[in-house]
Amino acid sequence: MRITLFLGMTIIFISCGNKDFTSNNYIDLSQKPNSKIKNLSDIALYVDYIPLQTFENNLIPQISDIKTSDSLIYILLSFKEILCFDKTGKYLHKLSKLGRGPDEYLFIDDFDIVSDDSLIVLTKDKILIYSLSNNEYFLVKTLSFQPPQPSNLDFITGQNSILLSFSSVSGDEPFRNLIISLNGDTLNFRLNFNKYIKKSDFVVIIRNENLSYRYNNMLYFKEMFSDTIFTLDLSNHFLPYIIFNSHGKGPTAQERAKSDEFNLSDYRMLTNILEVRRYLFYELSYKQAGHSIFYDKISNEKKEINSKSQLKDDIIGGIDIIPGFCSNEKFYSWIDAITLKTYVSTKDFKNSTVRYPYKKLALKSLADSLKETSNPILIVITPKE
């Protein structure tokens, strides 16, 4: 167990599951990065491309979200279907229940993995729990609720419970987070201390108002109005994990109350957070500028990607890249088949000098084997340890 006391602040951090984070669990968002990085090899050891198997019944025109378990990959397709692949990209099955029936949904607001044969789906005013049998999903339970509707859903691994996160659209939502059992019982909650009275009927919907990720088998989450990332202990108590100090430049409820005058570009806004053993990666937007930063937990240094580009793949010569999400110590992104096929025909690819030339040749062969209508290709990055 590690206990870190911040002097001058009435906050105590108790961390039993993450002993490798440094810098007193504190990141200063106003502090300039220690260095700029431009190559993927600055933070990664390997990169692999995994083509997602293509059939007529599993075409993927747009990826809305990706989640992975130890052995499977789940693709949210246009917020309507969830496709399942194994880690080699082989297509297995899908959840497709679009409709108005008792076991159907009109829209998938969010979803998560309970186990390799069970999914939970958040849709409008209910949570649907599906179980897999003979490669087909069947509804096993429905949890209905009254407004306000949560915007995000996360399964709490090992505890058979669900974390619900609420956006602040109306201004009077009672909770920011609510923990319920798979039977719908309330286990704990975190109140909304940033209520406001709207000054107009204009509705502001913010895509990244609630962020969450998994690391080291634990769930981490952050809301827009707080500088703190929270986690949960085994008793479902809310524990602070990291403070991203915005120095008062983060969005506030008072400013959001102005609705039509609310401009996110005026504030320090985190739009993505990912964590692996060595790095905490976060994307920050401020004054119409974006910043993509790897915080190195070993050296206690911030390494920022050049704002005018992404990381250049000097490992196998693939496309320039920024991680989109992470799972099981890997960073992930994806690319359309036609984009990859076009890229490997360019002079930049042909003339690139890479660490593993044989993998560059394999990437060219992969691209040549694809059709322009093939499903996207997952990009899997193995970070340095």
The domain that holds 343 is classified in CATH as 2.130.10
Q: Are 329 and 381 in contact (CB under 8 A)?
A: no
Structure pTM? Answer: 0.90
Instruction: Kindly list the strands in the beta sheet with 126-133, ordered across the sheet, starting from the edge strand earlier in the chain.
Output: 110-115, 118-123, 126-133, 136-144
Per the structure, the count of domains in the chain is: 1
Q: What is the pLDDT of residue 130?
A: 98
Q: What is the pLDDT of residue 4?
A: 29
Q: What is the pLDDT of residue 24?
A: 58
pLDDT tens per residue across span 100-155: 998 999 999 999 999 999 999 999 889 999 999 999 999 999 999 888 899 999 99
SS3 351: coil
**Which residue ranges of the chain lie beneath pLDDT 50?**
1-22
Q: What is the pLDDT of residue 256?
A: 87
Which tokens in the block code for residue 233? 């202990």
Q: What is the pLDDT of residue 129?
A: 97
Which tokens in the block code for residue 294? 């790897």
Backbone angles phi, psi at 338, to 5 degrees: -65, -35
Q: What is the pLDDT of residue 1?
A: 30
> By residue range, what is the domain housing residue 89?
2-383
Q: What is the pLDDT of residue 238?
A: 96
Q: For residue 279, which of 341, 335, 329, 211 has the smallest C-alpha distance? A: 329
Q: For residue 68, which of 98, 54, 49, 88 has the smallest C-alpha distance? A: 88
pLDDT tens per residue across span 325-360: 898 899 999 999 999 999 999 999 999 999 999 999
Q: Are 41 and 359 in contact (CB under 8 A)?
A: no
φ/ψ bin of 236: left (φ > 0), alpha (ψ from -120 to 50), beta (otherwise): left
Q: What is the pLDDT of residue 361?
A: 97
H or E element at residue 332: strand 330-335
> Strands, E, within 266-306: which ranges?
269-275, 279-286, 289-296, 301-305
